[in-house]
A = this chain, B = another copy of it.
Amino acid sequence: MGRWEPGASGRLRQAAMELYVERGYDQTTVAAIADRAGLTARTFFRYFADKREVLFAGSESLQDSLVAALDDAAPDASPMQAVAAALDAAADFLGDRRDYSRQRQSVIAANAELRERELIKMASLAHALGDGLRRRGVPEPDASLAAEAGVAVFRVAFDRWVNDPVDRPLAQVMRESLVQLRTVTTR
């Protein structure tokens, strides 16, 4: 009781994703996830509030890493250079989890409630990046526009990355998409 389970959180996350893909999200219970991971439901609830949080527990850390990179960008960096630094941090955070990210995307795409939750996380990210840019002294509407543009690039690049038949580095896809946004908006 209350014993620390080595790697329990990772095993639960892996087990949950397998079941969501095999049976569907709605058909998967916490009991089944714990069982697949060789753990108890009690242990599950020590790490996650519910089966939805298994999919979104990383979103907050991801946002924190983007904001930290934005804060750490050189003081003379332009708003988009600071946003580019945040996108590099996102690539570092997610870059070695392409298979997990692709599975997660397909599970979320199949469920309206999860799609909504993901939209809320993306809106929260845009808000946090906007706040970070304003802390750097970027005026409005530049801060909001750069933050929204950054999240647009993040979404489009992430989607390309997980669905690309070739496994290319996420950082590279992010940078290409950022350049492409510039090309598209100036044409």
Point out residues on A near B: beta carbons under 8 Å: 78-80, 116, 119-120, 123, 140-142, 144-146, 148-149, 152-153, 155-157, 159-160, 177, 180-187
Contact = CB atoms under 8 A, between A and B. Distances in A.
Contacts of A144: 155-156, 159
A160 B140 CA distance: 9
A14 to B, nearest CB: 29
Given A119-B119, A187-B80, A156 B152 contact: no
A79 B187 contact: yes
Nearest to A183: B142
Contact of A185 (B140, B155, B159, B182): B182
A103 to B, nearest CB: 21
Given A116-B120, A119-B120, A152-B152, A145 B186 contact: no
A185 B148 CA distance: 11
B156 A145 contact: yes
Best-surrounded residue of A144, A157, A180, A187 (most CB of chain B within 10 A): A144
In the A-B complex, the 6 residue pairs with the smallest Cβ-Cβ separation, listed nearest first, are: A148-B152, A78-B187, A119-B119, A144-B156, A182-B185, A145-B181
Contact of A155 (B148, B156, B186): B148
Contacts of A183: 142
Contacts of A146: 184-185
Given A78-B187, A152-B148, A184-B80, A141 B120 contact: no
Contacts of A182: 185-186
